[in-house]
Chains A and B, each alone.
Chain A
Amino acid sequence: MTMKIMVAIKRVVDYAVKIRVNPDKTGVVTQNVKMSMNPFCEIALEEALRIRESGSASEVVAVTIGPSHSVDTLRTGLAMGADRGIHVDYSASLYPLSVAKILTKLVQIENPGLLILGKQAIDDDCNQTGQMIAGLLNWPQGTFASKVVLDKEKQVATVDREVADGIETVCLNLPAVITTDLRLNQPRYATLPNIMKAKSKPIKKFTPEELNVEIKSDLEIVQVTEPPKRKAGVVVSSVDELIDKLKHEANVI
């Protein structure tokens, strides 16, 4: 059995960068800002690599959708250990439904047994793409995965999901969609030998047109603003003063 795993990865503003809203309030500043792989996507890729290394899959294909610079992120994925890459070249804004449609097309071309994505990208925090693809493909889904166990014989993935009141365990018949949560694994680093190998790994290019996906959106961004600044705290000198403030200023007691 030679199962293929497809992993979607996204290039985003680095997690550690302090985000700034652009002056005309239409988005955040991305020029001269460090861009990196979305941390949840790193986890998704790591999980795919571990499954391949355990012998349950034979190939990991990393996919990214975005402008030409996204290839850098794809190279990172290849350096982590993905076998090959697919870059869908598109420079304008993308929303989850368009991404889901593109990935659906690629799934139909590649026929993976498993599609793994991050539960969300840290730039727009949408948390929709995985679910939408599962809907479009009519595949079972295990979202917010904190543990994945694959039964090769039965073609079943058992997924622990982090839900509000604890862990829910679901069994998915393959092929299936899994989205990853933070605690699933700790992604590996890109070692020099693997960076070297990644240079000769193939990256296939597509455009949305070639995949017959029309990109349109019913969403319009009205305005982007910073969250309100937290007010500085005050030091109170006595319990009485604290109670007084809670009563009369904060109006909470």
Chain B
Amino acid sequence: MAGLVQRNPRFSKLNDDDVRYFEGILGAKNVVQDEDKLVAANIDWMHKYKGSSRLLLQPKTTEQVSQILKYCDSRSLAVVPQGGNTGLVGGSVPVFDEVIVSLSSMNKIISFDKVSGILVCEAGCILENIISFLDNEGFIMPLDLGAKGSCQIGGNVSTNAGGLRLVRYGSLHGNVLGVEAVLANGTVLDMLKTLRKDNTGYDLKHLFIGSEGSLGIVTKVSILTPPKLSSVNVAFLACKDYSSCQKLLQEAKRKLGEILSAFEFLDGQSMNLVLNHLEGARNPLPTLHDYYVLIETTGSDESSDKQKLEAFLLGSMENELISDGVLAQDINQASSFWHLREGISEALMRAGAVYKYDLSIPVEQMYNLVEEMRSRLGNTANVIGYGHLGDSNLHLNISTPQYDDKILSQIEPFVYEWTSKHRGSISAEHGVGLMKANEIFYSKSGETVQLMASIKNLLDPNHILNPYKVLPRSLIS
């Protein structure tokens, strides 16, 4: 991938004085040069993007982040902010020799207000740790995703991660109430409000939600968390065709509206892949089907919620929207249904190379792309489709034994052109990263991208933050 990009010669090369300077701020222990430790930080989760950074910094405070950036800016040293390194678009690893600034050591929960449900924490808190902290307090995170065991809240905010609960709680642009961020020149922006409403001027925190580390490093976050409700039900369903899945979604929104908390979708090929490659995966249904839907409801009354869901499911079965299905009878069963859906990414990794596309497409047309792709590629690749159907978000994945440029040229730019033609987005939730920086025009107008570049120039005039990513190389060099 980096093959297509040239190292920007304006960036300095790291020298011993730089290292000594960082050791002075952070202490030698938090300045990592060890080859083995650097390997993991240089390679992304998919093992698709690989940088060659020789320095990993682990600041513990906002002040240290500020000092690091100020120095890097003055020395023209390029920087890549890194959270849990679970990003899927090559945004979290260096392209060349950028200094890696890891937020892992900034992992403290700062405060939690039980009345308002507002949590304030450092950016390096691992999502799963926050989830279990909140669980003890009787609250939940408004977002949940398969990478929760490794991804960090700072990374989630920086990618504006969507995930499995968006259909119920909305995006991070709504749930994040405040952000503290450090700009490239070291300026600390304190926007760490804990207010639900605050209309004083431009709401700049939004610039840092989803800008993938290209405008600043997020160091603290305040986020609104909903109370944990006691009744959660999960059903795993089979549908005979895609149009039934779609109709089922419409019905579910009407009939389960106030308790619906997830509506996920996978096709038969995804299911096969999971059953063959994921440990502990077991088909919950007696036979195989072409399409599957996972529905979760969350509410406050176990017996009425269950009654409502059962009535909906049995009704949908009579209308033949559902051809078969199971309803989890305990938490363990619910987790094993979720495991099938959440485990697809991991199963894909085990199956070999994978080309991942994360697209927003109107629900009616969404699956046509999967079918067109399948007929384009024939039997050279396994094309699977799954995703957050409730949010019109398709994960189109193409699994092959190994990466192969011939196959790639069959996929791109076709997939982007198709999405653009249907007025979709080429990145629903994973972001742009390195993978799609030059493709941004498929989803955004020239004027819009130009304004983005102006904002970048304003906040990071030397372009040291996450270079080569997010914006097209033609505008930012």
A residues near B, CB below 8 A? 14-18, 32-34, 36-37, 39, 72, 76, 79-80, 186, 189-193, 195-196
Contact B230 A191, beta carbon cutoff 8 Å: no
CB closest residue in chain B, given A77: B329
Contacts of A76 in B (CB 8 A): 329
Contact A195 B314, beta carbon cutoff 8 Å: yes
Q: What's the Cα separation between A192 and B309 when bound, in Å?
A: 11
Selected from A39, A80, A195, the residue in CB contact (under 8 A) with B310 is: A195
Contact A14 B317, beta carbon cutoff 8 Å: no
Contact B303 A192, beta carbon cutoff 8 Å: no
Q: What's the Cα separation between A18 and B138 when bound, in Å?
A: 12
20 more CB-based (< 8 A) A-B contacts, given A36-B329, A76-B329, A191-B326: A14-B330, A14-B331, A14-B332, A16-B330, A34-B230, A34-B231, A34-B330, A37-B330, A72-B303, A189-B326, A189-B327, A189-B328, A189-B329, A190-B326, A191-B285, A192-B313, A192-B314, A192-B325, A195-B314, A196-B314
Contact with A along B322-345 (1 / 0, CB 8 A): 101111111111010000000000
Q: What's the Cα separation between A15 and B332 when bound, in Å?
A: 8
Contacts of B362 in A (CB 8 A): none
CB closest residue in chain B, given A31: B230
Contact with A along B231-242 (1 / 0, CB 8 A): 110000100000
Task: Report if B51 contacts A (CB, 8 A).
Answer: no
CB closest residue in chain A, given B333: A189
Contact A33 B314, beta carbon cutoff 8 Å: no
Give the Cβ gap from A87 to chain B, nearest Cβ, in Å. 16
Contact B313 A36, beta carbon cutoff 8 Å: no
Q: What's the Cα separation between A36 and B328 when bound, in Å?
A: 10
**Which positions 290-329 of chain B face chain A at CB distance < 8 Å?**
302-303, 310, 313-314, 317, 322, 324-329
Interface CB pairs A-B, < 8 A, 10: A15-B332, A16-B330, A34-B232, A36-B329, A39-B332, A189-B327, A191-B325, A192-B313, A192-B325, A193-B317
Contact A16 B230, beta carbon cutoff 8 Å: no
Contact B329 A190, beta carbon cutoff 8 Å: yes
Q: What's the Cα separation between A34 and B285 when bound, in Å?
A: 24
Q: What's the Cα separation between A32 and B231 when bound, in Å?
A: 8
Task: Report if B146 contacts A (CB, 8 A).
Answer: no
Give the Cβ gap from B281 to chain A, nearest Cβ, in Å. 13
CB closest residue in chain A, given B237: A192
Given A33-B230, A34-B230, do A192 and B324 touch, yes or no (CB 8 Å)? yes
Task: Report if B284 contacts A (CB, 8 A).
Answer: yes
Q: What's the Cα separation between A76 and B326 when bound, in Å?
A: 12
Contacts of B282 in A (CB 8 A): 186
Task: Report if B378 contacts A (CB, 8 A).
Answer: no
Task: Report if B9 contacts A (CB, 8 A).
Answer: no
Contacts of B331 in A (CB 8 A): 14-17, 34, 36
Q: What's the Cα separation between A72 and B302 when bound, in Å?
A: 11
Contact A189 B284, beta carbon cutoff 8 Å: yes
Q: What's the Cα separation between A14 and B322 when bound, in Å?
A: 28
Give the Cβ gap from B257 to chain A, nearest Cβ, in Å. 21
Counting from the closest, the 9 A-B pairs by CB-CB distance are A36-B330, A16-B331, A189-B326, A192-B325, A32-B230, A76-B329, A14-B331, A189-B284, A191-B326
Q: What's the Cα separation between A16 and B332 when bound, in Å?
A: 7
Task: Report if B286 contacts A (CB, 8 A).
Answer: yes
CB closest residue in chain A, given B282: A186
CB closest residue in chain A, given B284: A189
Contact A15 B326, beta carbon cutoff 8 Å: no
Contacts of A17 in B (CB 8 A): 331
Q: What's the Cα separation between A79 and B310 when bound, in Å?
A: 12
Give the Cβ gap from A245 to chain B, nearest Cβ, in Å. 22
Contact A190 B327, beta carbon cutoff 8 Å: yes
Contacts of B333 in A (CB 8 A): 189
Q: What's the Cα separation between A36 and B282 when bound, in Å?
A: 21
Selected from B230, B231, B326, the residue in CB contact (under 8 A) with A192 is: B326
Selected from B230, B284, B324, B332, the residue in CB contact (under 8 A) with A193 is: B324
Contacts of B285 in A (CB 8 A): 189, 191
Give the Cβ gap from A61 to chain B, nearest Cβ, in Å. 19
Give the Cβ gap from B83 to chain A, nearest Cβ, in Å. 24
Of the candidates A14, A37, A39, A192, the one having the most CB atoms from chain B within 10 angstroms of its own CB is A192
Contacts of A37 in B (CB 8 A): 329-330
Give the Cβ gap from B265 to chain A, nearest Cβ, in Å. 18
Q: What's the Cα separation between A36 and B306 when bound, in Å?
A: 13
Give the Cβ gap from A48 to chain B, nearest Cβ, in Å. 17
Selected from B135, B232, B324, the residue in CB contact (under 8 A) with A191 is: B324
Contact with A along B255-295 (1 / 0, CB 8 A): 00000000000000000000000000010111000000000
Q: What's the Cα separation between A193 and B324 when bound, in Å?
A: 7
Q: What's the Cα separation between A191 and B326 when bound, in Å?
A: 4
Contacts of B230 in A (CB 8 A): 32-34
Give the Cβ gap from B318 to chain A, nearest Cβ, in Å. 9
